[in-house]
Structure 1
């Protein structure tokens, strides 16, 4: 079995759009994401525009000639975007930190690997490939708290969680890459408070 990583910095990635869609369906249209296949069509449609973004970079992983994973990223513009899940980043970080930490940094948009190729190290190689040239080491991404597996993966790669939604939340969190200069400044989640023990009322006389 031969596995290789190929990096793209232009629209050449679009020639593999059908294969990328197939990987997207395999990765995200199953638990815990459970997306509808129409989201895969949306991904392919916006990929044509994304590939023309400033600082666009992508990587594909192929095994025996078949695409089994991919990652896409680009430079986050200023002012900070207001589409998709970007408002959740602002809500968690605040406007000033968002501008200072995320604008001008490399934003990892998608990272997907076929179920059959998980556990082989391909996801880590794809992530490293698209973030290798992040300006000043500044790389970041948003991911949903629905997947504890994804969060654990990024933590193992040295990414720091910069926002902390309420327990059992269903929102997205901001993660800063291992070379991001602000990763040491991220707030830690507050510990859960122990239950408040109230004194029992005095017994009433019979």
Structure 2
């Protein structure tokens, strides 16, 4: 595995190719490969300059990206673009501030289909979160990505309960070391199971 900061842009073509293969396959098969690649490349060029940006790539012997993970430190104010508004709706502004601001955000994690089942995804995730501030890391994912949800749950990541009546199709996961405060009207404690 190779670690990168903003110098990931030197591998942008290889990373984009892997991203397109992974994120145009089920359950994302409705996505156009060309549009998916262009959008990812544009985001990567901006994201690589975020405070605390890091990436880890797993390369095959042939030099192909078999898996990758990217992320950065979540800054205040909390973003509202992409799916971030749904995160605020789901958790509420106070829990977003408490749980997510200053934590390491996993933005993208992907493993090519022929490299799955080898533990690569778990190793990539662990490699990137090993130095998260106070062990605090988080991510969001789509509720229809059933294999992805199962992977995070098996890895010990947990979902903080949504505010009552504020469920969304975007789920938030916190790293195993992070405890979640209760949503208003619920008992405090670790994640609800």
Pick the structure with greater CA Rg: 1
Distance 1:187 1:88 in 2: 19
Residue equivalent to 2:122 = 124
Residue equivalent to 2:43 = 46
- 1:58–1:72 CA contact under 8 A, matched in 2: yes
C-alpha RMSD of the superposition: 1.9
TM-score (norm 1): 0.82
| 1:107-122 pair list within 5 angstroms | 107-122=105-120
2:13 maps to which of 9, 13, 18:
18
Distance 1:13 1:173 in 2: 27
Distance 1:163 1:182 in 2: 8
1:21 CA displacement: 1.0
Distance 2:2 2:152 in 1: 21
Distance 1:70 1:82 in 2: 25
Residue equivalent to 1:198 = none
TM-score (norm 2): 0.88
Gaps of 5+ in 2: 182-188
Distance 1:40 1:159 in 2: 28
1:186 maps to which of 164, 188, 191:
191
2:89 aligned with 1:95: no
Gaps of 5+ in 1: 189-206
Distance 1:97 1:170 in 2: 16
| 1:63-102 pair list within 5 angstroms | 63-64=60-61, 65-102=63-100
